Each structure stands twice: as C-alpha cells, then as structure tokens.
Structure 1
Amino acid sequence: MDDRIRYLLDELRLTRDARGMTQDDLAGHIPWASSTIAMIECGRRKPPPGFWDAVDGALQTGGALGRLATRLGSPQWFIDWSAAEQAAVSLRSYESLVVPGLLQTEAYARAVLTDAGLTNLEEMERRLATRLARQAVLTRADPVDLTAVLDEGLLHRPVGGPAVMREQLEALVAVGALLHVRLHVVRTTVGAYAGLNGPFVIATAADRTETGYLDNQLVGQVVDGPGNLAALQRAWEAVRSEALPQQQSTELIREVAEKWI
C-alpha cells in the first residue's frame, strides 16, 4: 500500500481511538457498518463517497481528515483507486499502449515515467516507488486474482530499448505462470475492436462491490455507478473475446521477447 494512503488510514484509526470510540461506536454515527469501517482502516476497501465528511463530523475533527486526504500529494481519484486496488480479490485489466503498472519491471516503469515527460527526478522516483509498491497485491499471502488482456502492439513498442523490453517480456512470461495470474494478448490482426477506446480496470472486492478505473493524460477516473460499470463489463467481455487463450498468449510473448536483442 502506498505510504500516503497508509498514513491517512492510520490517522483515521488514531483519531477514533483518541476520541475513545470503537469501530462499533463510530458506526453508530455514520451510515456504514463497523465491518465496513474495519475494512477501510486496514486498506481492504476503498472509502465510499461521503465517507470522510461523515467521519469528520462524527469525530468532530473540523474536517481535518478530509483536508488531509487532499494534502498528501495524491489526488482523490488516486486515493480512491489505490484503496480499491488493495481491497480487490480480483482485477480485470485491459491495456493497449504500455504494460500494466502492476506488471512493469523497475527498468520499464522508469522508462515510462521518464519518457512521459517527468523531468522532476524526485517526483519520478516517488511515482516509481509507489508503482512498484502496488505490485505487492500479486505477492502477498492472499494475492489478488489478476486477468490482464494486452494489445499485441505494446509488446513491440521499444520502451527503454531492447534490453529493457526483453527483461519486461520475460517478466510477463514468469508472472503469467502464477496460478492467480492470467495473461491474454489481442493480435494486431484483429483490427478495430472495443479496446481501442482506451485502457481500463475493474476491481472486485470480497463483498462483490465493483470499482472501475479509466486512465488518460491528465487524471485517472474512478467509476462505481451501475451504468458505468455495466458499460465496462461489456467492454471487458468484448476485448476478452478477441484475445488469444492463455497458452498461446504466453507463447507469443516469449516469441517477441526473443526478438528483443
């Protein structure tokens, strides 16, 4: 979990304890159950809309926690998505331009961040550390179940140069061998298909709550309305239906990796 998110959740717990309130007590003052509060405090569920305002009111903080959430250097959409990603039991991811962040090697991630125009070295290193830390969802004791569909074009894009690309594709083959990871590739011969509208991720929590994530040049967008999620579900089914089976996808990734010399 990103250190800034952990700090915010720790402040929630410490503030609640300082007020002499248990999670059950807090639940009596806000429209969420103590089990939901417990999952939020340990990072297993993202705070729902209105959560920080309600908690600030119940704990009489004068809005301190809500302000803290906006002052940690992360926009609200990142805080919301990071929490949803950490709380997920399954992730369905589609990417057309670069290897998904959860699957990037350090060298590949550094090249993406550098070549994307980040000239501030300190900011680049901070984002790199955050991106690599997020990958712990794949190696923790209860790893997230990840299904990722990749457009074949990103296997051929020379991000960081041949050595970086070969290492990255070999890493994809290795992670794809994990029981909780499934990688699929959409061949370029498919032509136009739903994935060309842009990358997205659908996170499913233990209580089956779903959260969607869309990315663009400026901000990420977190969506959880039924209409938007239904549209993402349809997009997922469309891109998944165009992808190669897992074994054929792995063979293709391995074949392309060998060409990066």
Structure 2
Amino acid sequence: MSAASDPLGHPPLERYLTLPGFTPTVMTMVLGYRLRALREKADISPRSASQALNCSEAKISRLERGESPIRERDIELMLRLYGAQHELEAACELARRSKEAGWWEQYGSAILPKWFDKFVGLQEGSKVIRTFEVQLVPGLLQTEEYAYAVAQGGFLATPEEVREKVELRLRRQELLRRSHAPHLWAVVDWPVLQRPVGGPEVMRRQIQHLIAMSQLSNIKIQVLPPGCVAIGSPVTLLRFEEYGLPDVVYLEHPTGANYLDKPEETSRYRFMLDQLSVMALSPTQTRKELRRIARDLG
C-alpha cells in the first residue's frame, strides 16, 4: 500500500517534511498524533501497544501526545503492530528531524525553562496565534526597551541573563515578518496600556509600535475597554491548520505552564477569545485609542 492511499484519509507524512515553519516540536506532535490515529484505526488498545513495546501505558500516552521524542525502533514496532509499515520511511525521517535542535535551544534553562521551550517551538510552527493579555503587552509585540524593563523587573537576574532574555524575545518576534508568517490576533486588557512599564517615554514608544504593528496584514490588535469583565489571567491559543493537529491552549503561571489540547477544553477558550474580541474595540477603534494614549504620554 502506498502512502498516498492512507486508510485514514490523511495526507502522506512526506508532505509534512516540506512545509514551511515545521519545527522539531511540531514534528514530534505530528508523528505522535499519527501513531495514535493508526493505533485506533487498528483497534489496538494502549495496553496492547505498551506490551508490544515492553513499556508502560504512560509512555504510549506521552509519545502519542508529542511530549517525548520517539525512537526509530519503537516506530518500527508500532507500525508493524498497526499494519502501517508503508509509513515507516517517512515516520523515521520525521523522528530524526524532531531530534534536531531548534534555534531557541541555544539558551540555557535560566533563560528558557523547559516548560517554556515547548511553547516557543509550538509558536514557531503555528499558523494562527490568538492571545489575551491582562498584565503586559504581548511578548511578540514588545519593543526592545519595554522588554528590557520587563526582564529587569521580574525574578532576580544578572545583567547577562536580562540581555539574553530580551534577545530571545526579539528573535521570537521575527516569525511575524517572515514569509508564511502566522496570523496574530491579540486582545489586550485596558490596564496594560495604563501601566507605564519603563516610564512614560518607553511606554509611549511601545504604544507607537503597537500602532505600526497593527497595520501589518497578518496582525490584528484589539483593546478591551474599561468596564468589560474578563478573566484575570492571560491565555494563548495556537492553531496549526495544515498540520492536522488540534488547537493547543497555553496557560502560563509564575512557576510553569499548562498545555491543553483536548477539544472539550480548547473549545471553551476559543469561545472565550471570541467573546472578548466582540467586547473589545475594533482594530480601527483600537488604533484611534492607541494614538490618543500616545499623545497623552507626551
């Protein structure tokens, strides 16, 4: 059987190897979800799969969720068990590429904690980024001097660590201007714009930067005006579209983050983001309000 006649109706795995922005993190997820689909199609339980691989059911779950890299030997055993040996060559190539280091992995854990490493890799490979921020300007939209003020005001960090944190943030922003850039849709709560991070001049230039970025075709920025009641924590939803992956919701807290990918979970946050966008000022009204705030800041 050829890869083109996939019984699940999925595109051949070879296709994913040529997609732009296909990061090791996304490759690991694509491979994991494909293996789960093949297992379910073959009507094989996680327990039976774990017995064939001589491992725990928890490991099967981690592999299928893209939370762990997959050894080629395990891929061979699983595909043989699932009757999908025609996928072996492409699956092994995906596995090899998924072990390559992303550009962001050059930063140490003090700059890029493991729980945030995954988010950067997913964001790099996403097609749509929807975010709601309640404390700070979204990282992808921060100016260098605003980012410095944020980095200096957080946990204790050396000057070198502050410099590297800002460097990482600015490099992450490059994805918004590349070819095949993702679409960013950001809703920002009103108090974010009233909080003079770095001082009035830094904040004024940050507001002007938001105005400029909002005019790019792949970026939509909305401000949630005073009086609107919203959740008190930031949320980011990543969509991958052509990769055939589910949406992923990223919820960050002071010491880590949660990643949600079950449809019943992500649909709630997608609905919430939809409601926030309806309550927020339109992109045109938002630019008008941003200009007013910039004038008030001098």
Distance 1:136 1:44, change over 3 A: farther
Distance 2:283 2:203 in 1: 20
- Contact conserved, 2:25 with 2:118, CA < 8 A, in 1? no
Distance 1:146 1:197 in 2: 21
- Contact conserved, 1:145 with 1:180, CA < 8 A, in 2? yes
Alignment of 1:165-244 (within 5 A): 165-190=203-228, 192-193=229-230, 196-207=231-242, 209=245, 210-244=247-281
Secondary structure at the residue paired with 2:71? helix
Give the residue type in structure 2 aligned to 1:55: R
Secondary structure at the residue paired with 1:212? strand
Q: In structure 1, which of residues 233, 249, 252 is the aligned counterpart of residue 286 of structure 2?
A: 249
Distance 1:232 1:75, change over 3 A: same
Q: In structure 2, which of residues 113, 132, 144 is the aligned counterpart of residue 106 of structure 1?
A: 144
Mind listing any 5+ residue stretches in structure 1 that lack a counterpart? Answer: 1-23, 25-31, 60-64
- Contact conserved, 1:36 with 1:45, CA < 8 A, in 2? no
Secondary structure at the residue paired with 2:185? strand
Query: For 1:143-175, what per-residue CA distance to the aligned partner results, in whole angstroms no more than 9, with x for missing partners?
Result: 211111011111110100011000000000000
Distance 2:22 2:186 in 1: 26
Where does structure 1 differ by over 6 angstroms across 4 or more consecutive aligned residues? none
Q: TM-score, normalised by structure 2?
A: 0.67
The total of aligned residue pairs comes to: 222
- Contact conserved, 1:39 with 1:45, CA < 8 A, in 2? no
Distance 2:20 2:219 in 1: 25
Q: CA deviation at 1:227?
A: 2.4
- Contact conserved, 1:43 with 1:83, CA < 8 A, in 2? yes
Alignment of 1:1-261 (within 5 A): 33-36=13-16, 42-43=22-23, 46=26, 47-48=28-29, 49-50=62-63, 51=66, 52-55=68-71, 57-58=73-74, 73=109, 74-190=112-228, 192-193=229-230, 196-207=231-242, 209=245, 210-261=247-298
Q: CA deviation at 1:186?
A: 0.6
Distance 1:206 1:188, change over 3 A: same
Q: TM-score, normalised by structure 1?
A: 0.75
Distance 1:41 1:54, change over 3 A: farther
Give the residue type in structure 2 aligned to 1:125: R
Distance 1:75 1:57, change over 3 A: farther
- Contact conserved, 1:93 with 1:200, CA < 8 A, in 2? yes
- Contact conserved, 2:128 with 2:184, CA < 8 A, in 1? yes
Distance 1:94 1:41, change over 3 A: closer
- Contact conserved, 1:77 with 1:222, CA < 8 A, in 2? no
Q: Highest CA radius of gyration, 1 or 2?
A: 2
- Contact conserved, 1:94 with 1:148, CA < 8 A, in 2? yes
Distance 1:42 1:170 in 2: 32
Give the aligned partner of residue 13 of structure 1: none
Distance 1:53 1:203, change over 3 A: closer
Distance 1:247 1:41 in 2: 30
Q: CA deviation at 1:253?
A: 0.9
Q: CA deviation at 1:117?
A: 2.9
Distance 1:72 1:246 in 2: 38
Distance 1:151 1:166, change over 3 A: same
Give the residue type in structure 1 aligned to 2:263: P
Q: CA deviation at 1:55?
A: 2.8
- Contact conserved, 1:118 with 1:124, CA < 8 A, in 2? no
Q: Does 48-57 or 36-45 show the bigger shift?
A: 36-45
Q: CA deviation at 1:114?
A: 0.6
Secondary structure at the residue paired with 1:221? strand
- Contact conserved, 1:103 with 1:135, CA < 8 A, in 2? yes
Q: CA deviation at 1:40?
A: 10
Mind listing any 5+ residue stretches in structure 2 that lack a counterpart? Answer: 4-11, 30-61, 75-91, 93-98
